[in-house]
Amino acid sequence: MIAITAKALLTPLERIEQPIVLVEGKSVIKVATRTETEIPPGAKHFDYSECVLAPGLVDIHIHGSAGHDVMQSDEQGLRRMEEFLAKRGITSYYPTTVAAPLDATLRSLEWMANSIESSQSNTGRAQALGIHLEGPFLSHIRRGVHLPENLLQPSVDTFDKFWQSASGHVRVMTIAPELTGAVELIGEANKRGVCVSIGHSDADLATARAVIASGARHATHTFNAMRPLDHRAPGILGEVLSNPSVTADVIADGIHVHPTVVRFLLEAKGEEGAVLITDAISAAGMPDGPYQLGGMDVEVKDGRVTRGGSLAGSVLTLDRAVRNVMEFAGWDLRKAVRIASLNPASVSDAQQKGKIQAGADADILALSENGEVRATVVRGQMIEN
């Protein structure tokens, strides 16, 4: 058993002063205050008296980090990436595809699925919980850097091929709702427990409303690769920003979305409906230079990832995004942590993640009051920075 004490704890729905968290194996078994519970005899004690405890962060949209691209079959690269993420407070993540040739996508999904199934034995590393399928069901008009020859019309048959190669581990799917066949596919994905996220889309308001009514419930990197908001034709963004039943994620690096617009989104969605993501590529944590994104050549310079002049992912980490939200929107640490932990876990139906309570997985951070990671616990294993 280990006992963790600190100045405060963010559940993240509330702040508890002078907490003690007891961990047995990979799970939290008790959360209390120091006045309520003493450190059990024989427990290994970790004290972070100047820090705040918070849930491990959950990134539901990430293409790579530390030199590794998640579509590559590279066990050493994967280990390096997961160790890097854990050091930055990201304890869970969803490897995210890009639109690629069908055979290459199927091979990548099989590799990702095998990695997910073997991750239970990994220690000291972030844990892949499922797969985010970004593409190929995207709008040609709003495709970003996804290659046009790799985009496909929504099809249950094609999706089933992905599902089978992924051994059922697809948990999030981004789709442009205006494409022919989208409504049918959204219905099928919902039946299989997949969170359908609308994005890379030129949809109008009526179309967005219709697919949300049919089961879509999230929005991918809001504002990016979407029809712009117009005061007379609000389009997809009008529905995403105004519908409280829709959660929306954002890349809060100050590059993809201006800090003022990040603040606007956070005010519109609130701490219940906003989600932070990174959309990070293999260059995260690495120096400037050429990198790969799902087989595409990209360039990183001064924190910007581009391909042919267009943004192509980021080098953001989720802990940095938390601190950026505190700066951009004036949010406190609790609210900023919530939208990077509990909210993404809820979107992806990871019920044991994103919170500190009895029965939850022991994914815990020790943070400074300004959000700097001092230590990470991943499924009960302590990693001190």
Classified by CATH at the fold level, domain 57-353 comes out as: TIM Barrel (3.20.20)
- The pLDDT assigned to 44 comes to 97
HSE toward the beta carbon, residue 29, CA cutoff 13 A: 13
Q: 16-32 pLDDT, tens per residue?
A: 999 999 999 999 999 99
CB-neighbour burial class of residue 42 (10 A; exposed 0-12, middle 13-18, buried 19+): exposed
Strand partners for 28: 23
Our CA angle for 232, 234, 236, nearest 5°, is 160
Q: Closest Cα to residue 78, out of 144, 125, 26, 19?
A: 125
Task: Please give the torsion angle defined by the CA atoms of residues 190, 193, 198 and 200, in that order, rounded to the nearest 10 degrees.
Answer: -120
Q: Do domains 2-53+370-384 and 57-353 have the same CATH topology?
A: no
Active site residue 288: no
Q: Which of 59, 279, 319, 361 is catalytic?
A: 279
Q: 48-68 pLDDT, tens per residue?
A: 999 999 999 999 999 999 999
> Please, which pLDDT band fits residue 121 given cuts at 50, 70 and 90?
confident
- Whether residue 120 has pLDDT greater than 90: no
- The pLDDT assigned to 119 comes to 80
The second-level CATH assignment, the architecture, of 2-53+370-384 is Roll (2.30)
- The pLDDT assigned to 153 comes to 98
Domain ranges of the chain: 2-53+370-384, 57-353
Q: 266-303 pLDDT, tens per residue?
A: 999 999 999 999 999 999 999 999 999 999 999 999 99
- The pLDDT assigned to 56 comes to 98
- The pLDDT assigned to 122 comes to 77
- The pLDDT assigned to 124 comes to 86
- The pLDDT assigned to 168 comes to 98
